Structure formats: structure tokens, C-alpha cells
Amino acid sequence: MRLYEYEAKEIFQKYGLSIPRGKIVESAEEARRFASQIEGPVVIKPQVSAKKRGKAGAIRFASNPEEAFRQSQSMLGTRFDREKVSTLLVEEKIEVDKELYAAMTIDYSFLRPVAIISPFGGMDVEELAHEKPEMVKKVRFSISTGPIEREYEELVTIFNQEERIVMKEVLQKLCRIFRDYDAEMVEINPLALTKHGKVVALDAFLNVDDDSLFRHPDLVRPRGMSREEFEFEQSLKEKKWKYIEMDPDGEIGILSSGAGITMAILDLIKMHGGRPANFLDTAQMNAEGIYNAFSLFAGNTKLRVLLVNIFAGLNRCDDLAMGIKRYLQEHPLRMPLVVRMIGYREDEGKSILKEINVETIRSLEDSVEKVIQIAKGAA
Amino acid sequence: MSIIAKRSACVLIQGITGAAARLHTKNMLDYGTRIIAGTKPGGGGGEVHGVPVYDSVAQAVEQHPHLNTTILFVPPKGTKEAALEAVKAGIKTVVMVAEHVPLHDNLEILEEGEKKGALVIGPNTPGLISPSEQTKLGFVPSQYFIPGPIGVASRSGTLTYEIVSRLTLNGIGQTTCIGVGGDPIVGTPFPKILQFFEKDSETRAILLIGEIGGTKEEEAAEMIRDRKITKPVFVYLVGRTAPEGKRVGHAGALIEGNRGTIESKLASFKEAGVPVADTPGDVIRIAKEVLKN
């Protein structure tokens, strides 16, 4: 879960990292008031989940309160990468001598955490890492101890003598945040070095591992979505369901169990020219689960057909068939239904569905062909 | 022969008194797995399907010094503690079935396992099964597996059952099938598993069932290209049409930048001369071809 910049900055500050004086505002008037308190130029930044705001021109500068008002007004209510801008962070503009970079994340190839620093921060650090890798220092370290003395020394060799001391402190603080917040990534880019040799975090990125959120319940709240969307998301999480809307103009809904097989079905459908609309991947299915799952698709008026894939290894076809039967008896389904069913107690499951005139198909490929025929025929 | 799930595995079940653990302990015993003991803090002195239960791994190991393998039927929140307890007690193979183990916990487990020379499998794995040794570690449905020459490693449970049941229908058996786990960080990813299968005398060919996200398919392809793996390898890859930037299913299946994309994986396998199947049916066709040679 990605925190907003201002949330990450609050945490940074708690851990002793300097951040610019700033305020969260929801109106242009508030922005004007804060800018006049600052008595100098300010930076105005939308608080959204997308990265690369700078490159997209979404970070604005204002030299006086009036300009701060105008800039804020032009940003509030607009959309940035589909997310509505409803809050802005207004900050004093820091006089920057140099822009540095510091981050801690996980090296998925080596299965270890890694610290990354560079004397050249800013918007183009990814390109720099690619073109001049010697300008970006990466050191992997132990998760249980954090970087040891020798590793810190190695990291800061890329900086000059005075910078080394402050950078080591920054890294030590970042490491504490990284561990305490179960971070997938914590990043300061740019990290400003002022003329007085002070370091200030101009931006803050903190991505907390979703699976660790039981340790950070205070961080769980809607970001970039409505209350209803958030509650829906949370309810899916509780059920351990993964529901993804793929294509608003798609025609085929997919209800399946297991990420791998669900991806295989999506591949097959697209390979044969079909358009999947959404899918639900239930980790484990039973009669109750499949009954509830149907309700997710039933209300979608764009769906032309629903494909249900059941491969009963640990669960039972007849049990799942009962769940489907119960749902369909209570709620007539608007769209045609194709059930692929194979596995434990398959014949029993088949006859249960036959009672309510639902045919089952044994082969995965045949079931995919069938849904595509239906989707195309109805078009 | 087979890998990891062998007759010599003397198995402990941590968290044996839970409902899922009871069910799968029974399934594993019926299949032939040598389950020697179980643990449940505070549950010592009891029995589950005739298997004695102890309070701690240390106690179980004291009574049964030949215990060498553990399966964790423990919730994600408790997985780290349970895994570290097992590693500390000298268990050499740790199978973690739980999904949603926190990333940092997982890193700690892997680090400790490496330090103590323990092999960690998972998390987020259905486990592994070796049909010729009548041994399964985890909850893979054993009815789909028969003994034979193919070693199978997969990032996904249900897709493995789909593919292996077809191999079996076509008379193509397996030495060992291992679910390496669906998380972005797992203890025994594809490159490590390839080395195990390479050394196994019975395995004639290796099937990798991969997906988008991560770089383990690419690393496996490099090993094959560099001739560190000499046995024939073939691959089935899914997630070709997954929407970019969305977690399609497995946490590991997240596309980031150019790494882990389907294009990068396909290109790596092509360079290594590894055949890649497009569909489940295609896997069977390639398997037959590979075994003919």
C-alpha cells in the first residue's frame, strides 16, 4: 500500500529526517493563506498515488500568495492518472545546492534488501542508473541486522567527505523506517543538500507491504477511491478474493479459482479473439463461496457471458454445483452461463446442474471456445 | 529417485491440530508420507490420526531425532516464528504453505534458513509430491500424479493440477512436482529447482510452469543457455494478456518496468533454445516430443 507524500513525510519527520515546512490544503484559499505565512516562494504538489508527478508537470511553483491561489485552483478537482486531485501539499521552496538520491527496497533477484544511493537525484535517476551505473551505488544487506558499518562505508564512498557523514545518517534513519514500516520501498528523491550542508527530503515515497498491514492498522484507509470502493476492496480482502476489472468494454466474465489457471484462461480467451471484462479468483471455493461470487457478476449489464471454471482437487464438484443451483434458483441470471467442471465427484456435480438446465463442459479449451462463440453471436 | 520429497523425509507438522492440518495430515498419511510428529503450543501430549503432538519443535526433535522436514500449517502471522523455531531446532527442509506472509518476515526466514543450511520452500505453495516415493509434503491432490520421467516446478497450484492431470492422462508421469510458491520472494525459485532436477538420475526432462512478474524465469533461461543445465527443459508461461501494473493474482505477478514482462521471458527462453507452450494442450505435445529424443 502506497502512502501519500505527506503521510510519508510525517513518518520521515518522526524519524528525524528534515522535511520542508508545509501544509495540507483542500482549497485554493487555504493555499493562499499558507503561502502568505511562508513569506516566500512555495511548491504546490497534488497528493495522488501515481508516481512521476514532476515529469507530468503536476508540481507547480508560486512566488506569491496570489499565484499560489491560482495554481491551486487550477489543480484541485482535476484528474491525475485517473485519480481526482482533492488535496495539495503546499511547502516552502527550499534553496537547493545539490539533489541527491537515497532508497531502500528489495532485490528480488538476490532475495535480499538493498540500499541505493546516488549524488545525482531528481527526475532522471532511473535513466542515470541505466546509462551511468557507476553513479548509482547499490549494496545489499542483511534483513535482520540492517547494513553493517562496512556496508555503510561502501555506500557513501560515492559522496565527498562532508556529504558522507550526513548521508550515512540519512541511510540509518531510512533503514529504521524500512524495517518498522515493513516497506517494499522507501525512497527520498530528490534529497536536497542545501548551501548550509543540511539535507532535506523534498519528496517522500513509502510503499508498505500489504501483507503486513495487520501490524499497521492505522495506515489502512481509502486513497484515491471512494468510501464504497474502499469498503468493497476491504470486503474482498477479508474473503481473500481477487477481483479485477480488466476492460470496461469486455464481454466475458470469469469466475475461477487460483491465480495461475485464471491467467491461463485469460490468455486463451484473448488468443481466440475474446474480450475478458473482469475476473474473480477465489483462493478456495465451496458452495457458500460460489454462491456469493455469482452476485459480483450478476449485476454487470455489459457481460454477454459468464465462464465458471471448476477444477475440484481438494473441493468437490457436487458441492460447488449445489452453490450454483441455489444462486440460480433465487436469482435468475441475465447472461448465459458456461460451466467447465472437472475433478472430484464430477458426475454428481454434472447431474445437479442438469436439473436446472446448465450444461457442463469438461475441457478447458472447449469451454473457452464456447464463451467466445456466445460473446460473438450476441454482438 | 526424486527431489526433496523423498522416502527419507521424516516429517513434522507444525500447527497439526487445526482443521486444514488434520485433513491434510490424513491425506498425506494415506498417500504414504512418513509423518512422525506434530506440534501445537499448549497441545503437547495429544494425538492427531495417531501422530503424537508436542508443545514445541525442540521437544519433538528430542523425542524423534531423525525428524528432518517440517510443513507449516500455521497462519501467515505466525509463519515467521514457526519457521525460525524449526530452523533453530535443526530441521533441514521447511515447507510453508501460508499465503500472505509479510515480505520482511519472509526475508528473515530465508536469511536464517541459509545461515543454518535449511532448504525453505514457499511461502504460498501447495507443497510437493514424488509419486514413485509415495511422499507428498503439503496439500497437492495426489490423484492426478503418477510416477514417470518429468520433473515439474510451478509458481501456481491450480494450474499445476490442470497441466499435470493432462500429462498423467497421456501416460506421462512425474519424478517430483514442486510448487515453488506464488510470492515474489520464495525460498527455492526456479534456478535452484533446476539444479536439483539436473542432479536427479530419474528426471529425464523438466517442465517449468511460469508466469509474468519477477526475473526467475529469465535467470533459469540464462542457466540453460550457459549449459549449467543439460537436461531438456520446456516451459508453459501464463499472464501474456495480464493488464500492466495490476496484480493479477499472485503477488509475484506484478509487472514493473521491463523486468518480468512476458516479452522479456519469451526472449530469454528463445535465446536459450527452450520450447515454450502457448496453451495447456501445447504442453502435452511438447512433452511427447521432448521424451521421444
pLDDT tens digits for range B84-121: 999 999 999 999 999 999 999 999 999 999 999 999 99
d(CA A255, CA A103): 40
Among B102, B162, B185, whose Cβ lies nearest the Cβ of A182? B102
Which residues 351-370 on chain A approach chain B with CB closer than 8 angstroms? 364-365
Structural domain boundaries, residue A335: 227-378
Take residue A196 and report the three cell numbers written for it.
548550509
Residue A15 falls inside a structural domain: no
pLDDT > 70? residue B256:
no
**C-beta separation of A237 from A45 below 8 A:** no
Q: Compute the mean pLDDT over every residue in chain A, rounded to the nearest whole number.
A: 92
Q: Please confirm, yes or no, whether B250 is among the known catalytic residues.
A: yes
Residue A4 falls inside a structural domain: no
Task: Among A182, A216, A250, give the residue marking a domain's end.
Answer: A216
> Which pLDDT value is given to residue B243?
63
> Which pLDDT value is given to residue B286?
98
Among A182, A242, A281, whose Cβ lies nearest the Cβ of B104? A182
pLDDT > 60? residue A181:
yes
Instruction: Based on the fold, state whether residues A368 and A312 are members of the same structural domain.
Output: yes
Residue A81 falls inside a structural domain: yes
Instruction: Based on the fold, state whether residues A232 and A368 are members of the same structural domain.
Output: yes
Query: Is beta strand B127-130 parallel, antiparallel or unpaired with respect to B174-179?
Result: antiparallel
Contacts B160 to A, Cβ<8 Å: 260
Among B144, B214, B238, whose Cβ lies nearest the Cβ of A264? B238
Between chain A and chain B, the number of residue pairs with CB atoms below 8 A apart is 141
> Which pLDDT value is given to residue A379?
47
Instruction: Based on the fold, state whether residues A204 and A257 are members of the same structural domain.
Output: no
Contacts B248 to A, Cβ<8 Å: 242, 244, 259, 262-263, 266
* CA torsion through residues B42, B46, B48, B50, sign: positive
Instruction: Based on the fold, state whether residues A255 and A334 are members of the same structural domain.
Output: yes
Q: How close does chain B come to A25, measured CA to CA in Å?
A: 30
pLDDT > 90? residue A144:
yes
Instruction: Based on the fold, state whether residues A27 and A153 are members of the same structural domain.
Output: no
Instruction: Based on the fold, state whether residues A145 and A119 are members of the same structural domain.
Output: yes
Take residue B7 and report the three cell numbers written for it.
522416502
pLDDT tens digits for range A194-204: 998 899 999 99
Task: Among A178, A197, A216, give the residue marking a domain's end.
Answer: A216
pLDDT tens digits for range A9-60: 999 999 999 999 999 999 999 999 999 999 999 999 999 988 788 888 899 9
Task: Among A92, A118, A135, give the residue marking a domain's end.
Answer: A92
Residue A250 falls inside a structural domain: yes
Query: Is beta strand A252-256 parallel, antiparallel or unpaired with respect to A276-282?
Result: parallel
CATH T-level fold of B11-121: Rossmann fold (3.40.50)
Instruction: Based on the fold, state whether residues A108 and A204 are members of the same structural domain.
Output: yes
| CATH number of the domain where residue A40 is located | 3.30.1490.20
> Which pLDDT value is given to residue B52?
98
Residue A14 falls inside a structural domain: no
Better-predicted residue by pLDDT, B283 or B213: B283
Q: What secondary structure letter does DSSP report for B259?
A: B
| CATH class held by domain B141-292 | alpha beta
Distances in Å between the alpha carbon of B209 and those of A64, B156, B170? 59, 8, 18
pLDDT tens digits for range B220-245: 999 999 999 999 999 999 998 866 55
Residue A10 falls inside a structural domain: no
pLDDT > 50? residue A150:
yes
Q: How close does chain A come to B9, measured CA to CA in Å?
A: 24
Chain A residue at shortest CA distance from B139:
A314
> Which pLDDT value is given to residue A306?
95
> Which pLDDT value is given to residue A282?
80
Take residue A235 and report the three cell numbers written for it.
470486503
Structural domains of chain A, count: 3
> Which pLDDT value is given to residue B275?
98
Among B105, B139, B162, whose Cβ lies nearest the Cβ of A314? B139
Instruction: Based on the fold, state whether residues A37 and A145 are members of the same structural domain.
Output: no
Residue A1 falls inside a structural domain: no
Domain ranges of chain B: 11-121, 141-292
> Which pLDDT value is given to residue A8?
98
Residue A82 falls inside a structural domain: yes
Instruction: Based on the fold, state whether residues A149 and A238 are members of the same structural domain.
Output: no
Chain A residue at shortest CA distance from B27:
A314
Residue B223, chain A, CB below 8 Å: the answer is no
> Which pLDDT value is given to residue A236?
87
Instruction: Based on the fold, state whether residues A233 and A355 are members of the same structural domain.
Output: yes
| B11-121 matches B141-292 in fold | yes
pLDDT > 60? residue B81:
yes
Which residues 9-38 on chain B approach chain A with CB closer than 8 angstroms? none
* Beta pairing partners, A2: A207
